[in-house]
Structure 1
Amino acid sequence: MEIRIEALQIAESFNIRKFRAEFRVEPFSGTTSEVFYTLEDTNRFLYVFDYGVVVFGNYDAIAKSEFINFIKNYAVHPVELNLFEEYKIVTDPEAQKALVKDDTVTIPQIDASVVHIVMLNTGQSVALEYYEILTDELITSSKHYILELEQSGRLSISKKNLLKYIGKVLNVKNSIVDNLYILDDPNLVWDNEELHLLNRRLKMNFDINPRFKDIDYRLQIVEDNLTLFTDVLNVRESARLEWIIIILIIMEIAIALFFH
Protein backbone atom coordinates (compact mmCIF):
# COMPACT_ATOMS: atom_id res chain seq x y z
CA MET A 1 0.00 0.00 0.00
CA GLU A 2 1.17 3.52 -0.76
CA ILE A 3 0.02 6.90 0.51
CA ARG A 4 0.93 9.94 -1.53
CA ILE A 5 1.56 13.02 0.60
CA GLU A 6 1.24 16.49 -0.95
CA ALA A 7 1.85 19.70 1.01
CA LEU A 8 0.90 23.13 -0.37
CA GLN A 9 1.43 26.68 0.86
CA ILE A 10 -1.92 28.30 0.13
CA ALA A 11 -1.90 31.44 2.28
CA GLU A 12 0.12 33.33 4.85
CA SER A 13 -2.22 31.99 7.51
CA PHE A 14 -5.57 30.28 8.15
CA ASN A 15 -8.30 30.98 10.67
CA ILE A 16 -8.13 27.50 12.20
CA ARG A 17 -10.86 28.07 14.78
CA LYS A 18 -13.43 29.14 12.19
CA PHE A 19 -12.37 26.37 9.81
CA ARG A 20 -12.79 23.66 12.45
CA ALA A 21 -16.22 24.97 13.40
CA GLU A 22 -17.49 24.89 9.82
CA PHE A 23 -15.67 21.83 8.42
CA ARG A 24 -17.69 19.63 10.78
CA VAL A 25 -15.49 16.56 10.69
CA GLU A 26 -14.18 15.06 13.91
CA PRO A 27 -10.38 15.47 13.93
CA PHE A 28 -7.94 12.76 14.94
CA SER A 29 -6.01 15.42 16.83
CA GLY A 30 -5.77 19.18 16.87
CA THR A 31 -4.86 22.39 18.65
CA THR A 32 -5.62 26.05 18.13
CA SER A 33 -2.86 26.18 15.50
CA GLU A 34 -3.25 22.90 13.58
CA VAL A 35 -5.68 20.06 12.98
CA PHE A 36 -5.18 16.51 11.65
CA TYR A 37 -7.95 14.38 10.15
CA THR A 38 -8.16 10.67 9.29
CA LEU A 39 -11.03 10.24 6.83
CA GLU A 40 -11.45 6.49 7.09
CA ASP A 41 -14.43 6.20 4.70
CA THR A 42 -12.24 7.47 1.82
CA ASN A 43 -8.87 6.31 3.19
CA ARG A 44 -7.66 9.90 3.12
CA PHE A 45 -5.68 12.03 5.54
CA LEU A 46 -5.72 15.79 5.93
CA TYR A 47 -3.54 18.19 7.91
CA VAL A 48 -4.18 21.96 8.13
CA PHE A 49 -1.74 24.41 9.75
CA ASP A 50 -2.46 27.97 10.77
CA TYR A 51 0.67 29.16 8.91
CA GLY A 52 -1.17 28.64 5.62
CA VAL A 53 -0.15 25.07 4.73
CA VAL A 54 -2.43 22.17 3.83
CA VAL A 55 -1.12 18.60 3.59
CA PHE A 56 -3.11 15.97 1.68
CA GLY A 57 -2.83 12.21 2.00
CA ASN A 58 -4.33 10.03 -0.76
CA TYR A 59 -6.29 12.91 -2.32
CA ASP A 60 -6.96 12.80 -6.05
CA ALA A 61 -6.83 15.97 -8.15
CA ILE A 62 -10.58 16.65 -7.98
CA ALA A 63 -10.90 16.17 -4.20
CA LYS A 64 -7.78 18.26 -3.63
CA SER A 65 -9.08 21.11 -5.81
CA GLU A 66 -12.45 21.07 -4.06
CA PHE A 67 -10.88 21.30 -0.63
CA ILE A 68 -8.50 24.09 -1.68
CA ASN A 69 -11.47 26.13 -2.89
CA PHE A 70 -13.14 25.50 0.47
CA ILE A 71 -10.13 26.31 2.67
CA LYS A 72 -9.52 29.58 0.82
CA ASN A 73 -12.59 30.93 2.64
CA TYR A 74 -10.46 30.89 5.81
CA ALA A 75 -7.24 32.14 4.25
CA VAL A 76 -5.51 35.38 5.21
CA HIS A 77 -3.42 36.84 2.36
CA PRO A 78 -3.46 34.00 -0.20
CA VAL A 79 -0.05 33.04 -1.60
CA GLU A 80 0.19 33.00 -5.40
CA LEU A 81 3.43 31.01 -5.43
CA ASN A 82 3.47 27.39 -6.60
CA LEU A 83 4.97 25.97 -3.41
CA PHE A 84 4.49 22.28 -2.75
CA GLU A 85 6.30 19.23 -1.42
CA GLU A 86 5.62 15.60 -2.25
CA TYR A 87 6.43 12.53 -0.22
CA LYS A 88 5.31 8.90 -0.12
CA ILE A 89 4.53 6.40 2.60
CA VAL A 90 5.02 2.78 1.51
CA THR A 91 4.11 -0.24 3.59
CA ASP A 92 6.30 -3.35 3.74
CA PRO A 93 5.23 -6.04 6.25
CA GLU A 94 8.80 -7.32 6.36
CA ALA A 95 10.17 -3.94 7.47
CA GLN A 96 11.32 -4.04 11.08
CA LYS A 97 11.15 -0.27 11.54
CA ALA A 98 10.55 2.94 9.60
CA LEU A 99 13.09 3.50 6.83
CA VAL A 100 13.38 7.12 5.73
CA LYS A 101 14.68 8.01 2.26
CA ASP A 102 14.76 11.22 0.25
CA ASP A 103 11.21 10.93 -1.09
CA THR A 104 9.80 7.86 0.67
CA VAL A 105 9.36 6.38 4.11
CA THR A 106 8.80 2.65 4.38
CA ILE A 107 6.86 1.34 7.39
CA PRO A 108 5.57 -2.12 8.44
CA GLN A 109 1.91 -1.01 8.41
CA ILE A 110 -0.23 2.09 8.12
CA ASP A 111 -0.68 3.86 11.43
CA ALA A 112 -2.43 7.22 11.85
CA SER A 113 0.26 8.48 14.21
CA VAL A 114 3.00 7.65 11.69
CA VAL A 115 1.07 9.39 8.88
CA HIS A 116 0.62 12.34 11.24
CA ILE A 117 4.39 12.69 11.75
CA VAL A 118 5.19 12.34 8.04
CA MET A 119 2.58 14.93 7.03
CA LEU A 120 3.75 17.27 9.78
CA ASN A 121 7.35 17.32 8.54
CA THR A 122 6.28 17.62 4.90
CA GLY A 123 4.15 20.64 5.78
CA GLN A 124 6.98 22.21 7.76
CA SER A 125 9.29 21.84 4.76
CA VAL A 126 6.89 23.78 2.52
CA ALA A 127 6.49 26.53 5.12
CA LEU A 128 10.25 26.90 5.37
CA GLU A 129 10.50 27.15 1.58
CA TYR A 130 8.00 30.02 1.67
CA TYR A 131 10.02 31.87 4.32
CA GLU A 132 13.21 31.20 2.35
CA ILE A 133 11.67 32.99 -0.64
CA LEU A 134 10.57 35.93 1.52
CA THR A 135 14.00 36.35 3.09
CA ASP A 136 15.69 36.03 -0.33
CA GLU A 137 13.56 38.92 -1.56
CA LEU A 138 14.54 41.03 1.44
CA ILE A 139 18.23 40.23 0.95
CA THR A 140 18.01 41.11 -2.77
CA SER A 141 16.30 44.44 -2.13
CA SER A 142 18.80 45.41 0.58
CA LYS A 143 21.68 44.57 -1.79
CA HIS A 144 20.29 47.15 -4.22
CA TYR A 145 20.63 49.92 -1.62
CA ILE A 146 24.07 48.71 -0.52
CA LEU A 147 25.27 48.81 -4.14
CA GLU A 148 23.91 52.33 -4.44
CA LEU A 149 25.88 53.37 -1.36
CA GLU A 150 29.02 51.82 -2.81
CA GLN A 151 28.69 53.48 -6.22
CA SER A 152 27.30 56.91 -5.35
CA GLY A 153 28.00 57.29 -1.65
CA ARG A 154 24.39 58.15 -0.95
CA LEU A 155 21.01 56.55 -0.36
CA SER A 156 18.14 57.66 -2.57
CA ILE A 157 15.36 55.88 -0.66
CA SER A 158 12.98 58.25 1.12
CA LYS A 159 12.28 58.05 4.83
CA LYS A 160 8.72 56.91 4.12
CA ASN A 161 9.81 54.08 1.85
CA LEU A 162 12.49 53.04 4.33
CA LEU A 163 9.87 52.81 7.07
CA LYS A 164 7.74 50.66 4.74
CA TYR A 165 10.74 48.43 4.12
CA ILE A 166 11.43 48.14 7.85
CA GLY A 167 7.79 47.25 8.40
CA LYS A 168 8.01 44.50 5.77
CA VAL A 169 11.13 43.02 7.38
CA LEU A 170 9.59 43.07 10.84
CA ASN A 171 6.39 41.52 9.52
CA VAL A 172 8.32 38.60 8.02
CA LYS A 173 10.39 38.11 11.18
CA ASN A 174 7.33 38.26 13.44
CA SER A 175 5.58 35.71 11.25
CA ILE A 176 8.53 33.34 11.58
CA VAL A 177 8.82 33.91 15.33
CA ASP A 178 5.09 33.25 15.71
CA ASN A 179 5.61 29.89 14.01
CA LEU A 180 8.67 28.84 15.99
CA TYR A 181 6.60 25.97 17.32
CA ILE A 182 7.01 24.17 13.97
CA LEU A 183 10.41 23.08 15.27
CA ASP A 184 8.96 21.63 18.44
CA ASP A 185 8.37 17.91 18.68
CA PRO A 186 4.65 17.04 18.63
CA ASN A 187 3.18 15.66 21.84
CA LEU A 188 2.56 12.18 20.42
CA VAL A 189 6.32 11.47 20.09
CA TRP A 190 7.10 12.16 23.73
CA ASP A 191 6.08 8.70 24.98
CA ASN A 192 6.81 6.72 21.83
CA GLU A 193 10.45 6.02 21.02
CA GLU A 194 9.74 4.79 17.48
CA LEU A 195 7.74 7.91 16.59
CA HIS A 196 10.43 10.07 18.18
CA LEU A 197 13.13 8.48 16.01
CA LEU A 198 10.94 8.76 12.90
CA ASN A 199 10.34 12.43 13.58
CA ARG A 200 14.09 13.06 14.03
CA ARG A 201 14.94 11.22 10.80
CA LEU A 202 12.33 13.14 8.85
CA LYS A 203 13.60 16.45 10.22
CA MET A 204 17.07 15.48 9.07
CA ASN A 205 15.76 14.37 5.68
CA PHE A 206 14.01 17.69 5.09
CA ASP A 207 16.85 19.70 6.73
CA ILE A 208 14.28 21.41 8.95
CA ASN A 209 16.64 22.77 11.62
CA PRO A 210 19.50 23.92 9.31
CA ARG A 211 17.04 25.67 6.99
CA PHE A 212 15.39 27.48 9.88
CA LYS A 213 18.78 28.63 11.21
CA ASP A 214 19.70 29.85 7.73
CA ILE A 215 16.48 31.90 7.54
CA ASP A 216 17.19 33.40 10.95
CA TYR A 217 20.76 34.25 9.84
CA ARG A 218 19.51 35.97 6.68
CA LEU A 219 17.01 38.02 8.68
CA GLN A 220 19.83 39.13 10.98
CA ILE A 221 21.80 40.33 7.95
CA VAL A 222 18.77 42.30 6.73
CA GLU A 223 18.30 43.84 10.18
CA ASP A 224 21.96 44.90 10.25
CA ASN A 225 21.48 46.52 6.84
CA LEU A 226 18.38 48.30 8.11
CA THR A 227 20.38 49.73 10.99
CA LEU A 228 22.93 51.05 8.50
CA PHE A 229 20.26 52.56 6.26
CA THR A 230 18.58 54.21 9.25
CA ASP A 231 21.87 55.73 10.40
CA VAL A 232 22.54 57.09 6.89
CA LEU A 233 19.08 58.65 6.73
CA ASN A 234 19.47 60.15 10.20
CA VAL A 235 22.74 61.77 9.10
CA ARG A 236 21.02 63.08 5.99
CA GLU A 237 18.14 64.48 8.04
CA SER A 238 20.57 66.05 10.51
CA ALA A 239 22.49 67.72 7.68
CA ARG A 240 19.25 69.03 6.20
CA LEU A 241 18.20 70.49 9.54
CA GLU A 242 21.60 72.11 9.96
CA TRP A 243 21.28 73.80 6.58
CA ILE A 244 17.77 74.99 7.45
CA ILE A 245 19.06 76.50 10.69
CA ILE A 246 21.99 78.15 8.87
CA ILE A 247 19.65 79.65 6.26
CA LEU A 248 17.30 80.94 8.96
CA ILE A 249 20.21 82.54 10.82
CA ILE A 250 21.46 84.19 7.61
CA MET A 251 17.95 85.47 6.87
CA GLU A 252 17.62 86.82 10.40
CA ILE A 253 20.98 88.61 10.11
CA ALA A 254 20.05 90.00 6.68
CA ILE A 255 16.72 91.31 7.97
CA ALA A 256 18.37 92.87 11.02
CA LEU A 257 21.00 94.61 8.80
CA PHE A 258 18.35 95.82 6.37
CA PHE A 259 16.18 97.42 9.02
CA HIS A 260 19.24 98.79 10.82
Structure 2
Amino acid sequence: MQKEIDMKCLTYSTASGYRLASVYTFLHKKEKNVQRFSDVVFYQSDTQFVYIFAFGAVVFWGQDSNQSLSFIKSIEQFADEPTTQFEIDEFFYEVGTKTVIDEIGNTIILENDTDAFYKLSLSYALGQSIKLASHEKDLKSTIDKMAFIPRTLAKTGKTSLKRNEIAKKMGELYLQKSSINSNLNVMHTPRVIWDHSEIEPHYHMAADFLDLHSRVESLNMGLTMIQDLLEILEDQLNHKHSSMLEWIIIVLIFVEVVLFIAKDLLKA
Protein backbone atom coordinates (compact mmCIF):
# COMPACT_ATOMS: atom_id res chain seq x y z
CA MET A 1 0.00 0.00 0.00
CA GLN A 2 2.78 2.46 0.86
CA LYS A 3 4.42 1.78 -2.46
CA GLU A 4 1.17 2.65 -4.28
CA ILE A 5 0.95 5.96 -2.41
CA ASP A 6 4.56 6.84 -3.18
CA MET A 7 4.07 6.08 -6.88
CA LYS A 8 0.97 8.18 -7.48
CA CYS A 9 0.61 11.44 -9.44
CA LEU A 10 -2.30 13.66 -8.31
CA THR A 11 -3.52 16.72 -10.21
CA TYR A 12 -5.95 19.36 -8.93
CA SER A 13 -7.75 22.37 -10.39
CA THR A 14 -8.02 24.57 -7.32
CA ALA A 15 -8.45 28.24 -8.31
CA SER A 16 -8.68 30.66 -11.21
CA GLY A 17 -5.00 31.41 -10.64
CA TYR A 18 -2.06 31.71 -8.23
CA ARG A 19 0.11 34.71 -7.40
CA LEU A 20 3.38 32.90 -7.94
CA ALA A 21 5.69 35.55 -6.49
CA SER A 22 3.92 35.16 -3.15
CA VAL A 23 3.83 31.37 -3.46
CA TYR A 24 7.58 31.31 -4.12
CA THR A 25 8.36 33.53 -1.13
CA PHE A 26 6.18 31.38 1.11
CA LEU A 27 7.72 28.08 -0.01
CA HIS A 28 11.29 29.37 -0.08
CA LYS A 29 11.16 29.87 3.69
CA LYS A 30 10.42 26.16 4.20
CA GLU A 31 11.95 24.34 1.22
CA LYS A 32 15.46 24.49 -0.23
CA ASN A 33 14.95 23.31 -3.80
CA VAL A 34 12.31 25.83 -4.87
CA GLN A 35 12.40 27.23 -8.41
CA ARG A 36 10.21 29.87 -10.01
CA PHE A 37 9.45 30.69 -13.64
CA SER A 38 6.86 33.01 -15.16
CA ASP A 39 4.01 30.51 -14.94
CA VAL A 40 5.14 27.79 -12.50
CA VAL A 41 6.74 27.34 -9.08
CA PHE A 42 8.02 23.90 -8.14
CA TYR A 43 10.18 22.10 -5.65
CA GLN A 44 11.55 18.66 -4.86
CA SER A 45 11.68 17.14 -1.39
CA ASP A 46 13.21 13.66 -1.33
CA THR A 47 10.98 11.63 -3.69
CA GLN A 48 8.15 14.16 -3.64
CA PHE A 49 7.65 16.79 -6.36
CA VAL A 50 5.13 19.63 -6.30
CA TYR A 51 4.25 21.96 -9.22
CA ILE A 52 2.05 25.04 -8.76
CA PHE A 53 0.87 26.67 -12.00
CA ALA A 54 -0.21 30.27 -12.44
CA PHE A 55 -3.42 29.15 -14.17
CA GLY A 56 -4.71 27.53 -10.97
CA ALA A 57 -3.60 23.90 -11.06
CA VAL A 58 -1.32 21.93 -8.71
CA VAL A 59 0.40 18.63 -9.54
CA PHE A 60 1.88 16.26 -6.96
CA TRP A 61 4.22 13.30 -7.42
CA GLY A 62 4.74 10.90 -4.52
CA GLN A 63 2.18 12.38 -2.10
CA ASP A 64 -1.10 10.95 -0.86
CA SER A 65 -4.37 12.90 -1.01
CA ASN A 66 -4.15 14.08 2.62
CA GLN A 67 -0.70 15.57 2.09
CA SER A 68 -1.81 17.15 -1.18
CA LEU A 69 -4.96 18.72 0.27
CA SER A 70 -3.02 20.02 3.25
CA PHE A 71 -0.52 21.70 0.93
CA ILE A 72 -3.28 23.23 -1.21
CA LYS A 73 -4.84 24.64 1.95
CA SER A 74 -1.51 26.18 2.96
CA ILE A 75 -1.21 28.19 -0.28
CA GLU A 76 -4.90 29.10 -0.56
CA GLN A 77 -4.07 32.59 0.70
CA PHE A 78 -2.19 33.19 -2.57
CA ALA A 79 -5.00 31.92 -4.81
CA ASP A 80 -7.39 34.00 -6.90
CA GLU A 81 -10.98 32.77 -6.64
CA PRO A 82 -10.15 29.51 -4.82
CA THR A 83 -12.71 26.73 -4.94
CA THR A 84 -13.49 23.87 -2.61
CA GLN A 85 -15.02 21.83 -5.44
CA PHE A 86 -11.74 20.58 -6.89
CA GLU A 87 -11.43 18.80 -10.20
CA ILE A 88 -9.10 15.86 -9.48
CA ASP A 89 -7.26 13.34 -11.63
CA GLU A 90 -4.75 10.69 -10.68
CA PHE A 91 -2.24 8.36 -12.30
CA PHE A 92 0.08 5.71 -10.99
CA TYR A 93 3.63 5.89 -12.24
CA GLU A 94 6.63 3.60 -12.50
CA VAL A 95 10.14 3.69 -13.93
CA GLY A 96 10.73 2.22 -17.39
CA THR A 97 12.85 2.66 -20.50
CA LYS A 98 10.60 5.05 -22.44
CA THR A 99 8.30 7.88 -21.39
CA VAL A 100 4.72 6.91 -22.22
CA ILE A 101 1.26 7.10 -20.69
CA ASP A 102 -0.59 3.81 -20.54
CA GLU A 103 -4.30 4.61 -20.87
CA ILE A 104 -5.49 1.11 -20.00
CA GLY A 105 -3.49 0.91 -16.79
CA ASN A 106 -3.82 4.64 -16.09
CA THR A 107 -0.07 4.61 -15.54
CA ILE A 108 2.76 6.97 -16.50
CA ILE A 109 6.04 5.29 -17.42
CA LEU A 110 9.03 7.46 -16.50
CA GLU A 111 12.55 7.29 -17.85
CA ASN A 112 13.73 9.36 -14.90
CA ASP A 113 12.20 9.55 -11.43
CA THR A 114 14.56 12.14 -9.92
CA ASP A 115 14.76 15.08 -12.34
CA ALA A 116 12.39 17.97 -11.52
CA PHE A 117 12.51 19.47 -15.02
CA TYR A 118 11.77 16.13 -16.61
CA LYS A 119 8.64 15.75 -14.46
CA LEU A 120 7.77 19.38 -15.16
CA SER A 121 7.28 18.52 -18.84
CA LEU A 122 4.59 15.99 -17.94
CA SER A 123 3.16 18.02 -15.07
CA TYR A 124 2.54 21.01 -17.31
CA ALA A 125 0.32 18.98 -19.64
CA LEU A 126 -1.39 17.28 -16.70
CA GLY A 127 -2.08 20.68 -15.10
CA GLN A 128 -3.52 22.05 -18.34
CA SER A 129 -5.67 18.93 -18.71
CA ILE A 130 -7.23 19.16 -15.25
CA LYS A 131 -7.90 22.86 -15.78
CA LEU A 132 -9.62 22.08 -19.07
CA ALA A 133 -11.71 19.48 -17.23
CA SER A 134 -12.86 22.26 -14.91
CA HIS A 135 -13.80 24.48 -17.88
CA GLU A 136 -15.60 21.56 -19.53
CA LYS A 137 -17.66 21.06 -16.39
CA ASP A 138 -18.48 24.79 -16.26
CA LEU A 139 -19.50 24.77 -19.93
CA LYS A 140 -21.83 21.82 -19.42
CA SER A 141 -23.40 23.57 -16.45
CA THR A 142 -23.88 26.75 -18.51
CA ILE A 143 -25.47 24.83 -21.37
CA ASP A 144 -27.81 23.01 -18.98
CA LYS A 145 -28.87 26.30 -17.36
CA MET A 146 -29.50 27.99 -20.72
CA ALA A 147 -31.19 25.05 -22.46
CA PHE A 148 -34.61 26.65 -21.86
CA ILE A 149 -33.76 29.70 -23.98
CA PRO A 150 -33.80 28.15 -27.49
CA ARG A 151 -36.86 26.07 -26.52
CA THR A 152 -38.67 29.23 -25.36
CA LEU A 153 -37.65 31.09 -28.51
CA ALA A 154 -38.92 28.25 -30.68
CA LYS A 155 -42.32 28.25 -28.92
CA THR A 156 -42.95 31.93 -28.25
CA GLY A 157 -40.41 33.86 -30.31
CA LYS A 158 -39.23 35.79 -27.25
CA THR A 159 -37.29 35.34 -24.03
CA SER A 160 -37.73 36.34 -20.41
CA LEU A 161 -34.08 37.32 -19.99
CA LYS A 162 -33.43 40.98 -19.32
CA ARG A 163 -30.73 43.11 -20.91
CA ASN A 164 -28.50 43.19 -17.79
CA GLU A 165 -28.76 39.38 -17.43
CA ILE A 166 -27.61 38.90 -21.01
CA ALA A 167 -24.75 41.36 -20.49
CA LYS A 168 -23.62 39.49 -17.35
CA LYS A 169 -23.67 36.14 -19.13
CA MET A 170 -21.67 37.57 -22.06
CA GLY A 171 -19.13 38.91 -19.57
CA GLU A 172 -18.84 35.48 -17.96
CA LEU A 173 -18.27 33.89 -21.38
CA TYR A 174 -15.56 36.42 -22.18
CA LEU A 175 -13.74 35.68 -18.93
CA GLN A 176 -13.95 31.93 -19.55
CA LYS A 177 -12.65 32.30 -23.12
CA SER A 178 -9.80 34.47 -21.88
CA SER A 179 -8.87 31.90 -19.22
CA ILE A 180 -8.84 29.07 -21.76
CA ASN A 181 -7.03 30.80 -24.61
CA SER A 182 -4.71 33.22 -22.81
CA ASN A 183 -3.97 31.77 -19.37
CA LEU A 184 -3.74 28.10 -20.34
CA ASN A 185 -2.10 28.84 -23.70
CA VAL A 186 -2.56 25.20 -24.75
CA MET A 187 -2.13 25.92 -28.46
CA HIS A 188 1.53 26.95 -27.98
CA THR A 189 4.51 25.35 -26.27
CA PRO A 190 4.90 26.91 -22.78
CA ARG A 191 7.89 29.21 -22.44
CA VAL A 192 9.56 27.19 -19.68
CA ILE A 193 9.26 24.04 -21.82
CA TRP A 194 10.54 25.89 -24.89
CA ASP A 195 13.59 27.10 -22.95
CA HIS A 196 14.47 23.52 -21.98
CA SER A 197 14.31 21.78 -25.34
CA GLU A 198 15.42 18.42 -23.91
CA ILE A 199 12.07 18.00 -22.14
CA GLU A 200 9.87 19.40 -24.92
CA PRO A 201 9.13 16.02 -26.60
CA HIS A 202 7.77 14.65 -23.31
CA TYR A 203 5.42 17.63 -22.96
CA HIS A 204 4.08 17.16 -26.49
CA MET A 205 3.64 13.42 -25.92
CA ALA A 206 1.54 14.09 -22.82
CA ALA A 207 -0.39 16.92 -24.52
CA ASP A 208 -1.26 14.63 -27.43
CA PHE A 209 -2.30 11.81 -25.10
CA LEU A 210 -4.52 14.16 -23.10
CA ASP A 211 -5.98 15.56 -26.35
CA LEU A 212 -5.42 19.15 -25.21
CA HIS A 213 -5.69 20.88 -28.60
CA SER A 214 -9.00 19.33 -29.70
CA ARG A 215 -10.48 19.88 -26.23
CA VAL A 216 -9.68 23.59 -26.43
CA GLU A 217 -11.24 23.77 -29.89
CA SER A 218 -14.34 21.98 -28.61
CA LEU A 219 -14.62 24.35 -25.64
CA ASN A 220 -14.26 27.40 -27.87
CA MET A 221 -16.90 26.04 -30.22
CA GLY A 222 -19.33 25.53 -27.33
CA LEU A 223 -18.65 28.99 -25.92
CA THR A 224 -19.09 30.55 -29.37
CA MET A 225 -22.47 28.84 -29.81
CA ILE A 226 -23.66 30.25 -26.48
CA GLN A 227 -22.29 33.67 -27.39
CA ASP A 228 -24.15 33.59 -30.73
CA LEU A 229 -27.37 32.76 -28.89
CA LEU A 230 -26.88 35.64 -26.47
CA GLU A 231 -26.16 38.02 -29.35
CA ILE A 232 -29.44 36.96 -31.00
CA LEU A 233 -31.25 37.73 -27.75
CA GLU A 234 -29.46 41.07 -27.45
CA ASP A 235 -30.44 41.98 -31.04
CA GLN A 236 -34.02 41.00 -30.25
CA LEU A 237 -34.04 43.25 -27.18
CA ASN A 238 -32.45 46.09 -29.15
CA HIS A 239 -35.11 45.73 -31.83
CA LYS A 240 -37.83 45.66 -29.18
CA HIS A 241 -36.32 48.77 -27.58
CA SER A 242 -36.14 50.54 -30.96
CA SER A 243 -39.75 49.62 -31.74
CA MET A 244 -40.83 50.98 -28.38
CA LEU A 245 -38.99 54.24 -29.04
CA GLU A 246 -40.69 54.50 -32.44
CA TRP A 247 -44.12 54.06 -30.85
CA ILE A 248 -43.30 56.65 -28.18
CA ILE A 249 -42.33 59.13 -30.90
CA ILE A 250 -45.53 58.36 -32.85
CA VAL A 251 -47.65 58.88 -29.73
CA LEU A 252 -45.87 62.15 -28.91
CA ILE A 253 -46.43 63.41 -32.46
CA PHE A 254 -50.08 62.39 -32.25
CA VAL A 255 -50.50 64.20 -28.92
CA GLU A 256 -48.80 67.28 -30.37
CA VAL A 257 -51.15 67.26 -33.39
CA VAL A 258 -54.21 66.83 -31.13
CA LEU A 259 -53.11 69.72 -28.93
CA PHE A 260 -52.46 71.89 -32.00
CA ILE A 261 -55.93 71.14 -33.39
CA ALA A 262 -57.55 71.69 -29.99
CA LYS A 263 -55.77 75.02 -29.67
CA ASP A 264 -57.09 76.13 -33.08
CA LEU A 265 -60.62 74.98 -32.18
CA LEU A 266 -60.51 76.94 -28.94
CA LYS A 267 -59.43 80.06 -30.81
CA ALA A 268 -62.31 79.65 -33.19
What is the TM-score of this pair, normalised by structure 2? 0.85
1:63, CA displacement in angstroms? 2.4
Letter matched to residue 236 of structure 1: K
For 2:65 and 2:207, the matched residues in 1 are separated by 27
Large movers: runs of 4+ above 6 Å: none
1:200, CA displacement in angstroms? 2.5
For 1:249 and 1:22, the matched residues in 2 are separated by 70
Superposed, 1:1-260 pairs within 5 Å as 3-24=7-28, 25-27=31-33, 29-40=35-46, 43-92=47-96, 95=97, 97-102=98-103, 103-112=106-115, 113-186=117-190, 187-188=192-193, 191-192=197-198, 195-260=199-264
For 1:16 and 1:165, the matched residues in 2 are separated by 29
Q: Structure 1's 166 and 7: CA in aligned 2 closer, same or farther, altered over 3 A?
A: same
Q: Is the 8 A contact 2:23 2:41 kept in 1?
A: no
1:173, CA displacement in angstroms? 1.2
Q: State the secondary structure of the residue aligned to 1:78.
A: coil
Residues 185-226 of structure 1, C-alpha deviation per residue, up to 9 Å, x if partnerless?
Answer: 34446532xx44332321222111111111111122122222
1:246, CA displacement in angstroms? 1.5
Residues 15-53 of structure 1, C-alpha deviation per residue, up to 9 Å, x if partnerless?
Answer: 11111122213555432221121123xx21000011111
Residues 91-127 of structure 1, C-alpha deviation per residue, up to 9 Å, x if partnerless?
Answer: 14xx3x2232112122344142332222222211100
For 1:141 and 1:259, the matched residues in 2 are separated by 57
Aligned residues between the structures: 253
Q: State the secondary structure of the residue aligned to 1:178.
A: helix
Letter matched to residue 215 of structure 1: L
Q: Is the 8 A contact 2:95 2:113 kept in 1?
A: yes
Letter matched to residue 104 of structure 1: T
Residues 143-184 of structure 1, C-alpha deviation per residue, up to 9 Å, x if partnerless?
Answer: 322221111011221111111111111111122222242443
Q: State the secondary structure of the residue aligned to 2:81.
A: strand
Q: Compare 131-140 and 158-167 and name the one that shifted more.
A: 131-140
Q: Compare 83-92 and 173-182 and name the one that shifted more.
A: 173-182
Letter matched to residue 44 of structure 2: T
Letter matched to residue 227 of structure 2: E
1:4, CA displacement in angstroms? 1.0
Structure 2 residue runs without a partner (length 5+): none
For 1:170 and 1:23, the matched residues in 2 are separated by 33
For 1:146 and 1:108, the matched residues in 2 are separated by 52
Letter matched to residue 106 of structure 1: I
Q: Is the 8 A contact 1:90 1:105 kept in 2?
A: yes
Letter matched to residue 22 of structure 2: K
For 2:137 and 2:100, the matched residues in 1 are separated by 30
Q: Compare 113-122 and 169-178 and name the one that shifted more.
A: 113-122
Q: State the secondary structure of the residue aligned to 1:198.
A: helix
Structure 1 residue runs without a partner (length 5+): none
Q: Is the 8 A contact 2:55 2:184 kept in 1?
A: no
For 1:196 and 1:33, the matched residues in 2 are separated by 16
